[in-house]
Amino acid sequence: MAKEISIKAAGGLRAVLAPCEAESVAVGVFIASGSRHERPCEAGISHFIEHMLFKGTPSRKPIDITRAIEGRGGNFNAMTGEEATCYYAHLPSECLAEAIDILSDMYLNSSIPDDEFEREKSVIIEEIRMYADEPDQVAAENLQKCVFPGSPLGSPVAGTPESLKPLKPEDLRRYIKGHYRADNSVVVIVGAFDEGEAERLLAKSFGPLASRGKAARARFRPSAPDAKRVVPHISEEKEINQAQLALGYRTFGISDPRKYAASVMDAILGRGMMSRLFQEVREKRGLSYDISSRMQFFSDTGMFTVSAGTDPARAAKTLETVEREMKRICEKRPGAAELKRTKEFLTGNFRLSHERVTSKLFFYGQTMLAFGRVIEPAEQVAGIEAVTAADVQAVAKAILRPSMRSVSWVVPKKGGAS
């Protein structure tokens, strides 16, 4: 079982220690700060900071940081989302001290050098342009904008070239001071390690956090999206051959007890080759090569999405088939065999993923930020196993409401790609 500790020397920093049988150890720092916490003039700053923390500290050059992890055969990465940012290292088990030392140095002492700042800004703008060339990414971003209009949840995590260009190094330093705090962060360690050693290393490395007083914490809090408003339709033309569909519904947040039934509904509809959408849209009708669904939860809201690529001439037929399956799951409960198979798929997939230390790392980090306590895998499995056919139908009716539906298309330009 995982053990939650509080590193008092680090001003109340929470930590989760989850030793398990492995040849490696993974260390992650999770911060409850993402694109949703940004003001309009800061759009993209959380993602920008993620990039810049790899650009050196007073005691380490960027190459020193990379060499210390990759030089030992490890993996070193970070990611930014709507409500959180994570930095993590996965290394052989004897390298725990190095992993904690490097991550804490980046977290506490990133120098944001001016020359690296301008260079990385250009890199991120190229990253944004790269995603703008991917129709599925464009369809998904446009859909989120429609599902959460006027909310930071509807804005791209990376920001836009226009929002990034005015940013200065001091903007990033100020944002870090307000958000990268002990009471806003969680450290997770998973794998082969000694708990006592881990506690000592955490207290030593993150100790300086105690000097970041509560008065420095950012006052800005994101507002909830308008509960009654979505944009029903958006379409964009690009030089492509396929039409890309993204269909979405606004739903509830991660603390809602219906989340388990929603996850089962998601799996029945669009997770894997046995799902209804895969069977109906691809296998029976040949309308799409790749179709899937996704349930995404935020702290106080969420989004259920279906995505597919199809021949523009059959786009209407594809959407019609998808919506027929939406209607069917609302009108009729899944049968006992389908429900049993789906729950076995979800719980089996979850258990197998937890054989990887990095999967455990993200599970504990994300659930600690969301719930403020350690969630054991057994609790997750029990929640799925308790779902009934009536629960699935009820949650489908609650989620798949026409008033909360948005459709996003990216289609070929007329007279364009052929």
The set of catalytic residues is 50
- Whether residue 321 contacts residue 245, with contact meaning beta carbons closer than 8 Å, is answered with no
Q: In what order do the strands lie in the sheet with 291-297?
A: 233-238, 405-412, 243-251, 302-310, 291-297
At 117, is the secondary structure helix, strand, or coil? helix
From the CA atom positions of the chain, what is the Rg in Å?
23
Query: Rounded to whole angstroms, how far apart are CA atoms 241 and 254?
Result: 37
* 3 state SS of 356: coil
Contact 408, 234 (CB under 8 A): yes
- Encoded tokens for 146: 């429609």
* Sheet (strand 85-92) strand order: 3-7, 13-19, 185-191, 24-31, 85-92, 75-80
Backbone angles phi, psi at 111, to 5 degrees: -90, -15
Other Cβ atoms less than 10 A from the Cβ of 27: the count is: 29
CA angle 68/69/72 to nearest 5° reads: 90
Tell me which amino acid residue 315 is: A
CA-based end-to-end distance of the chain: 56
State the Cα–Cα distance between residues 71 and 36, nearest whole angstrom.
35
Tokens 């190459």 label which residue?
Answer: 63
Return d(Cα 398, Cα 403) in angstroms, integer.
11
